[in-house]
Amino acid sequence: MEIIVRNNNIEGVPLLELFRMDQILKKPMIIVYHGYLGRKEFILPQAYLLAVNGFFVVVPDAYGHGERSSGQIVDLFTSITKSVSEINMIIDSYKDSREVDYTRVGLAGYSMGGCITFSYITLMDKKIKAAVPVISTPDWVSIVERLKTDEMMADLKARGILSHESQVEEYLKIAETIQPINRYEAMKDTPLLMLCGEKDSVTPPAGVKKLYEMLRPIFFDKSALKYSMYPGVGHSDTTEMNLELSEWMKRFV
């Protein structure tokens, strides 16, 4: 089985395309986003698995990351919101493609990429049929709260992510305003699988469970809403998570 991996650039967004060479010309598309301070190449193994399963996989560099990096560390929430604003443009760019069925699109992401996924499915003009955030959370306040320890502050300052403590309070106010869990009702019509590590301290899984409990009474199809908690797993994806992601996309996209 031959998997093609090629570079593309769509209106200034560098991305990788992966797909299987076979007789199926119009493949459903999955867009996959990487984590904070990562780049598209870091999730090639995950994208490869989706391509093997018959999807046309698009892996962009998130705003301020990879080939789009200015050399300065980009703010987490800026990267998320800018990346979300580009997704419909990326989908529409494949309208005339002979390789892609642009009416059948799924969205997935890891860590920050999962935050991008959660945020996108709150939009009124979303264009996807299924979403899978992995090791992520719709409760962004919980992400910021964990930054308040002396150890975390020292690490963030050393890496150039923060310059002073007051920035944490600024981030907290932003998170409270824009976090996806505030707009949970807008998610009720999108098949949603959430994959979490039980011991994830970066994106605490409690927010996912909370969202699940809020969505379940109003969800359009109870079988299209699921969260999977992986015992003993921290802030990292597993083979089993990626297989579950692939099966979800095959079912709903």
Residue 178 tokens, joined: 């824009």
Q: Give the pLDDT of residue 112.
A: 98
Cα-flanking dihedrals φ and ψ of residue 147, to 5°?
Answer: -80, -5
Two tokens, residue 78: 């800026």
pLDDT in the model for residue 164: 74
Residues 123 and 105: their CA atoms lie apart, in Å, by 15
The 8-class DSSP code of residue 208 comes to H
* Residue ranges of the chain whose pLDDT lies below 70: none
pLDDT of residue 248: 99
Q: What is the pTM of this model?
A: 0.95
**Per-domain residue ranges of the chain:** 3-139+179-252
The CATH superfamily assigned to 3-139+179-252 is Alpha/Beta hydrolase fold, catalytic domain (3.40.50.1820)
Among 111, 99, 112, smallest CA distance to 58 is for: 99
Distance CA 191, CA 249 (A): 9
Report pLDDT digits (tens) over 150-180. Answer: 777 777 777 777 777 778 888 899 999 999 9
In the prediction, which pLDDT does 153 show?
74
170 membership: H or E segment, kind and range: helix 166-178
Is residue 131 helix, strand or coil?
A: strand
